[in-house]
Amino acid sequence: MDGQATLNERMVTVGSIILLGAPGAGKGTQAKKIAGHYSIPHISTGDLLRDHVARGSELGKKAKAIMERGDLVPDDLVLAMVEERLNRPDCSRGFIGDGFPRTVKQAEWLDQYLSGKVFENQRDRKLAPIVINIAVGYNQLMRRLTGRRSCPTCGRIYNVYSQPPSVDELCDVDGGKLETRRDDREEVIAERLKAYEAQTRPLTEYYRARGQYFEIDGDQTPDAVSAEVTKIIDGHRL
Ligand code: AP5
């Protein structure tokens, strides 16, 4: 999809895009493609938190055990981290949220934040985010998460079942040794799915009531999902 976009198409003002979906739905896979296509930042709260854990920051020390058991990190910690990230200049034409917001409180905070935000060359005052929910069934989610590998250097995501690297366990881009996420063990995946049902699924109703909410079938090839996501964004961006 990237190769089809002209430079002008990529430099449009997009606004806020939110990818919703259960763990393993393909949010990270799609967010990377979309961020590249529109040249906007991919803001993954999971990646930001894992970076804090790896660096051993104060936030990372608080988040580590919570993430390893599959629970959500408290809203106040996540919101402070996200506010700092959204205020950076690279978000001036928009951003794509992956794993954020994840609770109704986080969504309310984002609405409030966006009410005070003006994106570069914004054509109108339509500020509700474009929310795209990627729907995938339980068995497929389990298979995707237990098969996921990622490159610690470039962040590329693979799957041993559906998108294996050319050489076993090595990244196609930089040859780095692929890693399995610590929370991709079956017992932790089960906890993450419970947290999703209890705290994140209610967001679908929250956003459905505000318009600009779209659901797509995530059980298609990544390119087919990307094509649907791009069509929605192009039809509703700022
Ligand atoms: P986070 O990192 O956000 O994890 P998650 O939501 O559980 O989502 P995943 O990254 O597991 O899945 P994904 O949907 O991105 O799928 P992916 O594209 O990788 O959060 C981790 C933890 O951090 C949380 O548990 C929580 O503790 C904390 N946290 C994060 N944000 C928070 C917040 N806002 N508030 C509080 N706590 C927070 O794909 C999965 C696999 O499937 C890959 O192998 C991929 O190759 C494959 N795949 C993808 N698409 C397809 C396809 N179409 N067909 C076949 N295979 C596919």
User: pLDDT (tens digit, 9 = 90+) per residue, 76-89?
Assistant: 999 999 999 999 99
Catalytic, out of 33, 50, 144, 148: 148
Host domain of residue 167: 137-227
Residue 97 β-bridge partners: 18, 43
Q: How many other CB atoms are found less than 10 A from the CB of residue 218?
A: 26
**Mean pLDDT within 18-34:** 96
C-alpha of residue 87 to centroid of ligand 1, in Å:
24
User: pLDDT (tens digit, 9 = 90+) per residue, 96-154?
Assistant: 999 999 999 999 999 999 988 888 887 666 668 999 999 999 999 999 999 999 999 99
In a domain, 235, yes or no: no
Measured distance CA(66)–CA(69) in Å, rounded:
6
Is the beta carbon of 45 within 6 A of some atom in ligand 1?
A: yes
- Which of 4-13, 20-29, 109-118, 123-132 has the largest mean confidence? 20-29
CATH assignment of the domain containing 40: 3.40.50.300
C-alpha of residue 89 to centroid of ligand 1, in Å:
26
Is the beta carbon of 25 within 6 A of some atom in ligand 1?
A: yes
Measured distance CA(113)–CA(227) in Å, rounded:
29
Q: Which of 96, 127, 158 is the last residue of a domain?
A: 127
What confidence category does residue 12 fall into, taking pLDDT thresholds of 50, 70 and 90?
confident
In a domain, 4, yes or no: no
Candidates 14, 48, 44; CA nearest to 27 is 44
In a domain, 21, yes or no: no
The pLDDT score that the predictor gives to residue 2 is 47
Candidates 110, 82, 147, 144; CA nearest to 15 is 110
Measured distance CA(194)–CA(215) in Å, rounded:
21
